[in-house]
Chain A
Amino acid sequence: MKLHEYQAKQVFADAGIPTPESKLASDVDGVLAAAEEIGYPVAIKAQVQVGGRGKAGGIKLAEDEEEAREAADAILGMDLKGYYVDRVLVEQAVDFTDELYVGITMDRGEGKPVAMVSTKGGVNIEEVAEEDPDAIAREHVDPSFGMMPYQARKAVYDAGVDRDLARDVSSVLSTLYDLWEEKDGSDAEINPLMVTSDDEVIAADAVMNVDEDALFRQPELAEMEEEAAGGDELEQKADEYGFDYVRLEGNTGIIGNGAGLVMTTLDLVDYYGGEPANFLDVGGGAKADRIANALDMVFSDDNVESVVFNIFGGITRGDEVAKGINEALEQFDEIPKPVVVRLAGTNWEEGMEILNEDLVTVEQTLEDAVQRAVEYAEEVNEQ
């Protein structure tokens, strides 16, 4: 789960990391009032969760009221890489001499947290990592003890940060690690950490991504998630149903159980010349109502022209799946899109007996089921 910039900044500021004065606004008057209070010049920043906001026109500087009005008009309501901008952060513009990077993430290869510092801030750090890996100092942390103060200092000195700033930057890094740990962060990042002309550091941006599996013990952040929710309507619906769902661009809908097998089904759709419309994992042990919800989900996607239902039962039972498919389809006078079903594993024979074959096409193997669904989707395209 990703916090919005304004939320992450609040979390950072509460922990004592210096951040510029800022205010959230959702209309032009709000922007002008905020700018007046903070004092010009200000930066006006779209609050949507996509990278590269600046380049896409989602961040503008304003020297006076006229420019602020223009910027607010341009940004509020804009479509930024598919996201509707309904809020902006109005922020004191920082007069800086240098831009640094500090971040904490989990190094999954090592199974350990890693702290990173670079003097090449202000640009995409993943690009820096690729083009000039030595420009990023890394320090792995033992999670049972946390980051030792010397480790923060070491990362800062190794990165070649100006020695006059070392104390302040390592203090920010230590605080960031503690926050990352306390809040179950997956990534915590300040890019850029700006250096002002009087040699102070200030967090001009803030990224805080939180481990979704830990939200049960982070009630404050879980609340922020509700505020941060947004994005695709169908993905929101999937959240309500509790499905792992990813929307894609194709027209063959896919429902299955288990992440690896669902991914494989997507890959097979592609392999046989079709285009997957989505990833939908009903999870283990799904009962009939959950299966019906899954069909409802996929039918809600206007792009979908056919559906392939692939279940390999371990703890999921074929008879429950068949019941769910029948229940979902029997309520239609006419089946919205052709559904191809393949059942295997636990109770698949019982499932086959229950399944109403007037409503679906049955195939015995995964490969056949996928090919049939792709054919159905293509037939529609040809019409």
Chain B
Amino acid sequence: MSVLVDEDTRVVVQGITGGEGKFHARQMMEYGTNVVAGAVPGKGGQDVDGVPVYDTVDQAVEEEDADTSVIFVPPAFAGDAIFEALDTDLDLAVAITEGIPTQDMAKVNKRLTETDTRLIGPNCPGLITPGESKLGILPGNIFESGNVGLVSRSGTLTYQVVDSLTQRGIGQTTAIGIGGDPIIGTSFIDALELFENDPETEAIVMCGEIGGEDEEQAAAFIDEHVDTPVAGFIAGRTAPPGKRMGHAGAIVSGSGTGTAESKINALNDAGVPVGDTPEEVADHIEEFL
């Protein structure tokens, strides 16, 4: 079992003819992802390694029965590309693009209330169900199929924690990178709910970072609604206030909201142990299983 993505997922890659899009479409196919189409305006009729390219997402759905989009479109056009995915009534849209203007994302956020399509990202590595399918840019070889669900705001930090798990022989049901922007589609709470309802997921890793209040809200949700054991990690304990630490969303505001301390305390209060190091997170998961 897994959440959101499995071997039957039919993928259209928006931006498949660009450098990133082409490279990662190939990587996804090598991993076993069922990439059925590409969508790039003006490039309809071409193909990438035998995958047909259409001018619109709508055509890709019409002709190839795509149900999920992975978006590798440059930031200036990515807001529009996400709207196209949402308005085509796909099940899932995964936006990898980093650097989308926040006001574009506020409009996307509004549209999300009017559609059934789930958005993951933007500014995220995507998601993977090991051994079945990956959507995005995660390095497939470090993952192993198993019983731990993982949700994270950061890509490479996810790899670090997954590596620790896999090296101990602990595999994963699905790993979801929700992205490092201030406004994102799928939140920690959404992902936790999915894992809680997945019978195969026996433990959950949640990797947060400074900025915003999503981790605090997730902690409250865990307290009320999650029986599956959760182990946490929070990056950015040493970050100074007012400085953006790489991710647009990773900033402790001048008034002191978004600190690592507040997030760690909230998680601890909800009974979630928070590792001081990524290895300690793996220790906690090992104890749960």
Contacts and interface: CB of A to CB of B under 8 A. Distances in A.
A313 interface: yes
B155 A258 contact: yes
Interface residues on B, range: 35 or more
Given A143-B106, A211-B102, A109 B156 contact: no
Nearest to B250: A259
B99 A264 contact: no
A85 interface: no
B276 interface: yes
Contact of A314 (B139, B240, B250): B139
A352 interface: no
Contacts of B217: 109
A367 B279 contact: yes
A271 B180 CA distance: 24
A232 to B, nearest CB: 11
A258 B137 contact: no
A380 interface: no
Contacts of B196: none
B101 A211 contact: yes
Contacts of B131: none
A311 to B, nearest CB: 8
Interface in B105-133: 105-107, 109-111, 125
Contacts of A264: 157, 160, 233, 235, 278
A216 interface: yes
Nearest to A183: B103
Contacts of A130: 255
Contacts of A284: 137, 155
A279 B246 contact: yes
Nearest to A244: B246
Contacts of B48: none
Interface in A210-237: 211, 213-214, 216-217
B238 A266 contact: yes
A211 B248 CA distance: 9
B246 A184 contact: no
Nearest to B113: A111
A143 B110 contact: yes
A118 B152 CA distance: 37
Q: Chain A contact residues: over half helix, strand or loop, or mixed?
A: mixed
A263 B236 contact: yes
B245 A259 contact: yes
Given A246-B245, A263-B236, A263-B239, A257 B255 contact: no
B163 interface: yes
A289 B244 CA distance: 25
Interface residues of A, number: 54
A183 B157 CA distance: 34
Given A130-B255, A271-B276, A367-B277, A261 B248 contact: no
Interface in B163-178: 163
A261 B177 CA distance: 13
- Most chain B CB inside 10 Å of its own CB: which residue of A129, A144, A267: A267
Interface string B249-267: 1100111000010000000
A112 interface: yes
B205 interface: no
A214 B277 contact: no
B212 A259 contact: no
B160 A261 contact: yes
B100 interface: yes
Could you say which of A113, A214, A281 has the most chain B C-beta atoms within 10 Å of its C-beta? A214
B243 interface: yes
B245 A279 contact: yes
Interface in B151-195: 152-160, 163, 180, 182-183
A346 interface: yes
A29 interface: no
A276 to B, nearest CB: 6
Closest A-B pairs by Cβ, 4 of them: A260-B154, A259-B246, A258-B156, A260-B157
Given A260-B152, A263-B210, A279-B239, 19 more contacts: A126-B254, A130-B255, A143-B103, A213-B102, A214-B103, A246-B239, A258-B155, A259-B209, A259-B245, A260-B154, A260-B235, A264-B160, A267-B236, A267-B237, A271-B277, A312-B156, A312-B160, A313-B139, A345-B159
